[in-house]
Chain A
Amino acid sequence: MSSIQATRLKKGNLIVLDGDLYRILDLQHVTPGNLRGFVA
């Protein structure tokens, strides 16, 4: 199993969360100037 940073995830990737398999349908890496960045 390979690990990947959240910021490097891409649409269409398959990931494992809590033992369940999920496909990413949509994602956006948001980096607000005054806050910590996040992936939503």
Chain B
Amino acid sequence: MKLRNIRNGTLQDQRLRSEDVIQRANLDEVEMQYMYSDSAGHHFMDTKSYEQISLSDEVLGELVGYLVPESVIKVEFYGTEPVGIELPQTVDLAVTDTAPAIKGATASAQLKPATLETGLVVQVPPFINVGDRVRVNTETASTRTGRRDEGQGQGAG
């Protein structure tokens, strides 16, 4: 299995026997609001105590692309150390750059890349324009939500 060291971000491959017993880390989840990012890290504020913490790129990894300022997410703590975040299933993000929509494009499932407000690049259906908001699945980085949400215009993707 592939493992990532939470503290220094290094990757490691490990093989275990089926009968091995592994220690699971017990985590506490705290609701926090994402504020901003700078060179020191990504800053979050506890919604109850207003205490502020910062998380490094190593801890967040690719999840940085789903963070919108003021969004409330869950931060996982191992003891007093923040080790990760839990995102909602989907996040709505605005498209900041994509190729223009093609008139008379076929209804087939052709996708084009789109850059979102957080810098994340996802594949979107051809009718999506700059300024549109798309609902992105935070686990798969796709705009397919699996069901036709009201007003999302995502069903045809």
Tell me the smallest distance from the CB of A20 to a CB of chain B, in Å: 6
* Contact call A16/B4, Cβ cutoff below 8 A: no
Number of CB contacts from chain A to chain B under 8 A: 103
4 nearest A-B pairs in the assembled complex, by CB-CB distance: A27-B1, A22-B3, A26-B2, A37-B18
- Is B84 at the interface (CB under 8 A from chain A)? yes
- Interface secondary structure of B, over-half rule: strand
Residues in A whose Cβ lies below 8 Å from that of B22: 3-6, 9, 15-17
A1-40 CB mask vs B (1 if < 8 Å, else 0) is 1111111010001111100111111111101000011111
* Contact call A15/B5, Cβ cutoff below 8 A: no
* Contact call B21/A21, Cβ cutoff below 8 A: no
* Contact call B6/A14, Cβ cutoff below 8 A: yes
* Contact call B21/A4, Cβ cutoff below 8 A: yes
Residues in B whose Cβ lies below 8 Å from that of A9: 1, 22
Count of B residues near A, CB < 8 Å? 27
Chain A residues packing against B (C-beta within 8 Å): 1-7, 9, 13-17, 20-29, 31, 36-40
Given A4, A20, A21, A38, which contacts B18 in the complex, CB threshold below 8 Å? A38
Q: Contacts A22-B5, A40-B1 hold; do A14 and B21 have CB atoms under 8 A apart?
A: no
Tell me the smallest distance from the CB of A38 to a CB of chain B, in Å: 6
- Is B27 at the interface (CB under 8 A from chain A)? yes
* Contact call B23/A25, Cβ cutoff below 8 A: no
* Contact call A36/B18, Cβ cutoff below 8 A: yes
Q: Known pairs A6-B19, A16-B24, A25-B2. 18 more at Cβ < 8 A? A: A1-B24, A1-B25, A2-B26, A3-B21, A5-B22, A6-B22, A7-B18, A9-B1, A14-B27, A14-B76, A15-B3, A16-B25, A17-B22, A22-B5, A23-B84, A28-B1, A37-B18, A38-B15
